[in-house]
Chains A and B, each alone.
Chain A
Amino acid sequence: MRTHVHMKLVSAALAALILTGGLAVGASASRMPGQHLKGHATPVRGGNLVIDIETPQQNFDVNQTSDNESIWTYDQIAQTLYINAPDGKTLKPCLATSYSISANKLRWTFQLRRGVRFSTGMPMTSRDVAFSIDQALNPNSVWAFVDSSIKSVTASGPYAVVIVTKHPWAPLLADLALFANAVVPYNFGGKTRAEFFQHPIGTGPFELSQWVKGQSLTLTRNPYYWVTGQPYLNSVTYVPVSNSSTRMIQLEGGKADVIEGAPFSLLSSIKGAGYELGVFSSTRIDYVTMNELQKPLANVDVRRAISYAVDTAAIMKAVFFGYGTPANSPLMPNVNFYSLDPALITYNLAKAKQELAKSPYPHGGFTIDFIAGSGDPVQTSVSQIVQAELAKLNIQVKIELMDPSEVTQQEQSFHFGMRETYWTMDIVDPDEWVSFGFDGEAGSYSNFTHYNNAQVDGLVTEAEQTFSTSKRAALYAEIDKLVAANAPMVWLGYSPYSYAYSPNVHGFFVYPEGNAHLENVWMSK
Chain B
Amino acid sequence: MRRYIVGRLAQLLFVVFGVTIATFSLLHLVPGNPARTLLGAKATAREVIVLTREWGLNKPLPVQYWDYLTRLVHGNLGTSVYYQSPVNSLIAHALPVTLAMLGIGALFGVCFAVPLALLAATREGRITDHVIRAVPLVGLGMPPFWVGLVLLVVFALAIRIFPAGGYGAGFGGHLDSLVLPGLTISAVTTPILVRSMRASLVEALNSEFIAAARAKGLSATRVLFRHALRNTLIPTVSVLAVNLGYLLGGTVVIENVFGLPGIGNLMLTGILNRDFDVVQSVTLMYAVVVVFINLAADLAYASLDPRVVLGR
A198-B84, A406-B30 known; A2+B253 contact, CB < 8 A? yes
> Count the A-B residue pairs with Cβ separation under 8 angstroms: how many?
180
Given A17-B149, A249-B156, A405-B273, A241 contacting B164 (CB threshold 8 A): no
Do A214 and B153 touch across chains, with their CB atoms under 8 A apart? Answer: no
**In the bound complex, do residue A250 and residue B261 qualify as a contact, i.e. CB atoms below 8 Å apart?**
no
Q: Which of A2, A64, A245 contacts B51 (CB 8 A)?
A: A64
Per-residue contact bits, chain A 239-267, to B (CB 8 Å; 1 contact, 0 not): 11111011101101111000000000000
Q: Is the CB of A59 within 8 A of B83?
A: yes
Q: Which of A3, A61, A194, A247 has the most CB of B within 10 A?
A: A3
**Closest residue to B168 on the A side, CB-wise?**
A255
Chain A: which residue is nearest B153 at the CB level? Answer: A21
Cβ of B206 within 8 Å of any chain A Cβ, yes or no, is: no
0/1 string, A178-206, CB within 8 A of B gives 1: 00000000000000001001100000000
The distance from the CB of B86 to the nearest CB of chain A, in whole angstroms, is 10
Complex Cα distance, B46 from A442, in Å, reads 12
**Is B32 in contact with A412, judged by CB distance below 8 angstroms?**
no
The residue of chain B having its C-beta at the shortest distance from the C-beta of A408 within the complex is B36
Q: Which of B33, B43, B157, B167 is in CB contact (< 8 Å) with A142?
A: B43
Q: Give the contacting residue for A243; candidates B158, B160, B257; CB below 8 A.
A: B257
The residue that A250 contacts in the complex, of B37, B145, B252, B259, with Cβ under 8 A, is B259
List of A residues within 8 angstroms of B5 by Cβ: none
Q: Is the CB of B153 within 8 A of A17?
A: yes
Asked if B160 contacts A253 (CB within 8 A), the reply is: yes
Within 8 A of B (CB), among A2-60: 2-3, 6-7, 10, 14, 17-18, 20-23, 52, 55-56, 58-59
Question: In the docked arrangement, what's the CA distance between A20 and B157, Å?
Answer: 10
Bound complex: CA of A253 vs CA of B258, how far in Å?
A: 12
Report whether B164 and A250 are in contact in the complex, using a CB–CB cutoff of 8 Å.
yes
Contact across chains for A404 and B166 when beta carbons are under 8 A apart: no
**B182: Cβ under 8 A from any A Cβ:** no
Interface residues of A in 395-451 (CB under 8 A from B): 402-406, 408-410, 412, 421, 423, 436, 442-444
A469 to chain B, nearest CB (A): 26
A520 within 8 A of B: no
Kindly list chain A residues whose C-beta atoms are within 8 Å of the C-beta of B32.
403, 405-406, 409
Which residue in A21, A145, A404 is a CB contact (below 8 Å) of B157? A21
Stretch among B69-77, B98-106, B226-234, B262-270 lining the A interface: B262-270
| Per-residue interface assignment for chain A, residues 49 to 82, with 1 indicating a CB less than 8 Å from any chain B CB and 0 otherwise | 0001001101101001111000000000000000
Given contacts A56-B269, A403-B31, 18 further A-B contacts (CB under 8 A): A3-B256, A21-B153, A56-B83, A58-B83, A58-B84, A59-B84, A64-B39, A140-B51, A198-B84, A213-B90, A214-B90, A215-B167, A242-B259, A249-B149, A253-B164, A406-B31, A406-B32, A443-B45
